[in-house]
Amino acid sequence: MIASLPRPLWLRASTVVYGLAFFAFLFLPLVVVAVFAFNDAPYPAPPWRGFTLDWFVGHDGSGRTGLFADAAMLGSLWTSVVVACWVTILSVLVGTANAFLIERTQFRGKQALSLLMLAPLVIPGVILGISILAFASRIANLADDLWGLELEFLRPGLPLVVLGQFSYIVSIATLTITARLKRFDITLEEAAYNLGASRLAVLWTITLPYLKPALIGSAAISFLMSFENFNTTLMLVGSDSPLTVMMYGRMREGATPVLNAVSLLLMVASAVLALTMMRGNKPGTSNNTH
């Protein structure tokens, strides 16, 4: 029970034990991935054969192509970044528009529309992928048949990957931003308006600054979700593979520790990103808690 109620010793002890077991479960795979990035062996598996940085800095000549010499891996990393950036921008923009649509306008069918906006969250990613693939190729084939127009962006490839990921990530952004906008005290806008601000100035000086934590938060979530996405992406990739798809391919080959190296790099990067965000977020979030 809660802290203010008496808890018997066995309960307190088992809480601690369970907590330790739980976090061991959470961290074991990650620790193992990180550790074996430095194992001096061709496969990320025991036994430990000594420490090496080959899987980071090894180059073509050495027989071990390290991460920083693995052009394909680095290329896919970059592809992922580019895709994630686009998805983030689109999701936050459209998510913001959606939030205003839901919170600030009235029209018939709004209820249904806002439910529909949640639907992508309960459509399996693979299905989103195939349906978008099928629809896009139908449109592209139609354009080709009718006008001899080759709409290349509708063919499997990065634009389609971006659209596919966007199609459900924007739901999450919409939820996040709407939740904050819902909590917005509309009298703040009225107060600003009353103090002589134009509507645009109200939006720019009051509403958007208020939304900022949600915008940043949903941008971070969108980026992460896009970066991690596999199911939808797999169905829509063309010739450039984002990192997850590339890693999947490599894992089926029987991974080399380069995968561990790139994973470790990701862990460090996302930890740094998340920590700086949490740092920077603190004063922002305190705005709404007080």
Partner 1 sequence: MSSADPTRQSRHVARLMLMLLLAPALLWLLGLIVLPHVELGMLSMRARVAPRVYEPSLAQFRTFFEEPLYWHTFMRTALMSIVATALTLLMAFPIAWTIAKLVRGHTKSMLFVMCLIPFWVSETVRTLGWMILLRESGVLPALLVWLGVTPAPVELLYHDATILVGLVYTSMLFMVIPLISALESLDDSLIEAAYDLGGNGWSILRQIVIPHAAPGIVAGCIVVFMLTLGNYLTPTLLGGKNSQWFTEQIYTQFITRFNWEQGAAFGFLLLALSTAIVWAGLKLSGQKFGEVMQRS
Partner 2 sequence: QEKTLRLLTWADYAPADVVAQFEKETGYKVELTLSNNEEMISKLRATGGAGFDLAQPSQDRIAGPQTEFGIYKPMDLSKLKTELFIPSMLDATKINTTVAGKVYGLPHIWGTDGLVVNTKLAKMENYTDLCKAEFKGKVAYRLKRPTLLAFAFASGKDPFALYSNPKAYTELMDEVGKTLTACKPNVKFYWDNKDQLLNGMRAGEIVGAMMWDTGGWKLNNEKPEIQFLAPKAGALGWIDTFAIPAKGKNDAAAYAWINFNMRPEIAAKVAGSAGNFTASKGADQLMDAKLKAQFATSFPEAALKNIKWYPAVPAGIEDIEGKVLDRIKAAN
Partner 3 sequence: MCVGPVLTPSPLHANPAAQPDLQATRVAKHYGAFRAVDDLSFSVARGSFFSILGPSGCGKTTLLRMIAGFLSPDSGEILIGGKPMNGVPPNKRPVNMVFQHLALFPMMSVGDNVGYGLARRGVAKDEIKRRVGDMLERVSLPGAQNKRVDQLSGGQKQRVAIARSLVLEPTLLLLDEPLGALDLKLREHMKIELKQLQAAFGTTFVYITHDQSEALVLSDHVAVMNHGRFEQVGTPQQLYYEPQTPFVAGFVGANNRLAGRATEVNGTTVTVTSAQGLMMPARAIGQITRGDAVEAFVRPEVARLARQAALLTDAGLPSFNARVDSLLFDGANSAVLLTEVQSNTEFRIALPQTGEFADLAVGETVFFGFDPQRAVCFAAGTTANEHVFS
Looking at the DSSP bridge assignments, the partners of residue 39 are 51
Whole-number Cα distances in Å, 7 to 18, 21, 84, 148? 16, 20, 47, 75
**Chosen from partner 1, partner 3, partner 2, none, partner binding at 47 (C-beta under 5 to 8 Å by type):** partner 1
Token pair of 255, please?
Answer: 């991974």
Q: At what angle do helices 257-289 and 9-36 cross, to 10 degrees?
A: 130
> Candidates 56-64, 67-75, 210-218, 220-228 — which segment interacts with partner 1 by CB under 8 A?
220-228
Nearest to 176 by CA among 122, 217, 227: 217
Q: 116, 195 in Cβ contact below 8 A?
A: no
Q: What is the dihedral of CA 125, 129, 132, 135, to 10 degrees?
A: -130
Q: Which is nearer to partner 2, 228 or 240 (CB)?
A: 240
Measured in degrees and rounded to the nearest 5, phi and psi for residue 51 equal: -85, 135
- By CB under 8 A, residue 123 contacts partner 1: yes
- By CB under 8 A, residue 287 contacts partner 3: yes
Binding mask 166-205 for partner 1 (x = CB under 8 A): xx--x----x--xx------x--xx--x-----x--xx--
Of 212, 255, 281, 284, the residue at the interface with partner 1 (CB under 8 A) is 255
Distance CA 133, CA 191 (A): 49
Q: Which is nearer to partner 1, 61 or 253 (CB)?
A: 253
In the complex, minimum distance from the CB of residue 255 to partner 1, in angstroms, rounded to a whole number:
6
- By CB under 8 A, residue 198 contacts partner 3: yes
**Chosen from partner 1, partner 2, partner 3, none, partner binding at 210 (C-beta under 5 to 8 Å by type):** partner 3
Residues in contact with partner 2 by the rule CB under 8 A: 43, 45, 133, 137, 140-141, 144, 150, 152, 155-157, 238-239, 249, 252-254
